[in-house]
Amino acid sequence: MNKKQIIEKTREYIEKKLSGEGSGHDWWHIYRVWTLAKEIGNKEKGDLFVIELAALLHDIADWKFTDGDDSVGPRLTSEWLQELKVDKDIVEHVAAIIKDLSFKGAGVKTTMKTLEGEIVQDADRLDAIGAIGIARTFAYGGHTGREMYNPDIKPEMHNSFKAYKKNNSPTINHFYEKLLLLKNLINTKTAKKIAVARHKFMELYLKEFYAEWDGEK
């Protein structure tokens, strides 16, 4: 099986697995991250085979849906790629990217070890900000039964992954606990340019949200 066939098989597998998912971690999220990762990868000159596989498989088992176990995704990724007879070093590279990809709290470093990892992480983080990021945040908040906003509950800057996983604060707090922090955590020059406009849109959205909340508009 050649690289193109492996990518196509993986795309089919993930699309079938995640289609119709309602928390914002669905097939279309994967599709956007995959598309953007390819664009960034071309400009940053990364290994597109690794980038595409990691982008397609990065939410195969997100820790938010595995009782906080962040080892499930890398394990399922390895099993899938081994089934397709992918070279061992590529399997290990892709699994390592997926293990280190997620944001784990404001005070927790999530440094990628390779350019390909940085590119996929950037694409994933770009899909968490801007207009789509806002939509996904509220979709996930509704999915988990969170309040939309409660002015009596203040955002928390989590200093450990354990604390971040336990967090169940209102959806608006998530902007401060994660989304507004992502612009400064982007790795590549290409992604940084995209992040600026998306970050600004979130700031404008929050300004409008509070004005309407307070009855000013």
Instruction: Walk along the chain (217 residues) in steps of 10 and give the mean pLDDT of each run.
Output: 95 92 88 98 98 95 67 92 96 95 83 95 97 96 93 90 82 96 96 98 98 87
State the pLDDT at residue 52: 98
Question: Please, where are the H alpha helices in the chain?
Answer: 3-18, 27-44, 48-57, 72-83, 88-100, 115-126, 130-143, 161-166, 171-177, 189-213
Are the beta carbons of 194 and 126 closer than 8 angstroms? yes
State the pLDDT at residue 138: 96
State the pLDDT at residue 13: 95
Residue type, 77: T
Sequence-distant (6+) residues with CB within 8 A of 187 are 112, 118, 119, 121, 122
The pair of three-digit structure tokens given for residue 96, joined into one six-digit string: 């390592």
State the pLDDT at residue 66: 61
Torsion on CA atoms 61, 6, 28, 148, rounded to nearest 10: 20
State the pLDDT at residue 114: 97
State the pLDDT at residue 217: 63
pTM here?
0.93
Integer Cα distance of 148 and 142 in angstroms: 8
The pair of three-digit structure tokens given for residue 182, joined into one six-digit string: 């992502």
CATH architecture for the domain at 3-213: Orthogonal Bundle (1.10)
Q: Report which DSSP code applies to 141.
A: H
State the pLDDT at residue 122: 97
Measured CA angle at 151 (ends 179, 24), to 5 deg: 35
Residue 69, number of CB atoms within 10 A of its CB = 12
Sequence-distant (6+) residues with CB within 8 A of 4 are none
Are the beta carbons of 81 and 53 closer than 8 angstroms? yes
Q: Where are the domains of the chain?
A: 3-213
